[in-house]
Amino acid sequence: MFERSDDIINIFKDDLRGAPIHRYWARYNKLLSGLFTEGSFMVTFDFDTESYMAVVLHTRRIRVRTPKPILIFLMLAEPSWNDSVALKEAEDRMRKLLTEADAPAIPTIHGVCVSGTRVMFYRYERDKGLFMPELGQVHFDLDLKEENGAARVLEVAEDIKRMCRALIGKLKY
């Protein structure tokens, strides 16, 4: 279970700069699995597109045949975080993932777009129809190998857990 920024920084300490995106998949999986260790969370990977991972809420109230509410997407972007066209494309893809997520009971869905160790944060507030880039938007200016990026990931995970604790009794699945 990750509770400190150093726990996250250590996952990404080896330099993979310039490596293909698939070299990071295991690290991203370790990141999400370490942030969401409680039994009600499940990390998934989109094998069709190989472009994102998600953490879904999995409780006894949610039957297998029912889509599990998505809480956060971790979208994998090619390591071209300094390219304005790639940035716009990443934001458009994230907007689509968040706004089209099949999770009506979840009021806020988070998104993390990663390119190597660089990271951008998004959130979608369903009731307001509001999609917002948060920290790191513009140029992937936060890094998972540094305190600022690691600390923000911990804050987002804690926000999701707080929301889920409030929702668990209200879910009608």
Q: Tally the C-alpha atoms within 13 A of residue 7's C-alpha that lie toward its C-beta.
A: 14
pTM of the model: 0.82
At 109-141, the pLDDT tens digits run: 998 888 888 888 888 998 898 888 765 455 577
Domains, the chain, ordered by start:
5-150 (3.90.1570)
Q: Which helix (H) or strand (E) holds 102?
A: none
Question: What is the mean predicted confidence (pLDDT) over 162-166?
Answer: 84
At 82-110, the pLDDT tens digits run: 667 777 777 888 889 889 888 877 889 99
- Whether 156 and 112 have beta carbons less than 8 Å apart is answered as yes
